[in-house]
A = this chain, B = another copy of it.
Amino acid sequence: MIKFKSLSAFPITPSDSEGRVDVAGLRGLVARLAVAKVNSIGLLGSTGTYAYLSRSERRRALDAALDEVGGQVPVLVGVGALRTDNAVRLAQDAKAAGAAAGLLAPVSYTPLTEHEVFEHFATVSRESGLPLCIYDNPSTTHFKFSPDLIGRLSRLPNIVAVKSPAPEPQAVAGHLADLRRNVPEEFSLGYSVDWQCVEALIAGGDTWYSVVAGLFPHTSMALVRAVRDGNVAEARRLNKRLHPLWGLFTEFSSLRVMYASADLLGICRAKPPRPILPLGDAARQRVADIIKTLDLQ
């Protein structure tokens, strides 16, 4: 896992109404990310609708992305599933295909206990041999990791990183300190929730797992470079400039805004998997205006 201020870009996975992945569209998205020299690609994350796609379609998407980047950029891939046996199979597929790591979320229907989540991760790790990033995303999985559980998982051989939802800026340093106390030194601590990630990087987080970077990698790389160069004021200025976009993300979800953006820009023609619906016309117009005003790229 990359251990310096880095950007992991999470593209959408264009697919048709039956859940068949548009491989050409995905290649186009991934090629943009390679050109922008993001540090890694987070394929089939939550915004990449992994939860809505079959095992075979997930394998098609992974093969296409790996072929497109041709080893230039490490590809992390979502291997989460509701059943442990299915998550094992997906992680085995990812290992066989050549993914750098798997992103494993504790997808739930019946709420899970800490013990159950520990055993789920231990089983997927042991039976796949794939390096794993703990995908902590309570807004979709409805499971909340404690620092103690992350600590116990971090001591398993192939669990190498965690992607946590970034807390409010004033809480992020404490959050990082709580985790650092529990994990080995080389364990990577990264963050999602785009609008709070610049502060998480400034506070010492290793990676920004970014939705916006999946479509606008240049804009996102500029923020990460400013932090990496120690130019905190510039990073904050750039982040503040994106506030209208963050407002759309909180109002409509970053997933819906990214689908509208990709369509507006003609990068790919895809709708989110139903029951998720595309944004309505008024919201879509606001997205178009903000892309233009902020010159997102």
Q: Which residues of A are at the interface with B, using a C-beta cutoff of 8 A?
A: 17-19, 46, 49, 51-52, 82-85, 106-107, 109-113, 115-117, 119-120, 123, 139-140, 142, 253, 255, 272-277
Contacts and interface: CB of A to CB of B under 8 A. Distances in A.
Given A52-B82, A84-B275, A85-B18, A140 B119 contact: no
A145 B52 CA distance: 22
A110 B277 contact: no
B85 A117 contact: no
A83 B54 CA distance: 11
- State the main secondary structure of chain A at its contact with B: loop
A119 B277 contact: yes
A63 B212 CA distance: 47
A275 B13 CA distance: 27
Contacts of A19: 83, 85
A117 B275 contact: yes
Nearest to A137: B109
Given A18-B85, A52-B82, A83-B19, A276 B110 contact: yes
Given A83-B19, A85-B18, A109 B51 contact: yes
A2 to B, nearest CB: 27
B109 A140 contact: yes
Nearest to A86: B19
Contact of A276 (B17, B51, B116): B116
7 contacts: A19-B83, A51-B109, A83-B275, A106-B275, A112-B276, A116-B274, A119-B275
B253 A110 contact: yes
A142 B107 CA distance: 13
Given A109-B46, A110-B46, A120 B82 contact: no
A3 to B, nearest CB: 29
Given A82-B51, A85-B17, A111 B277 contact: no
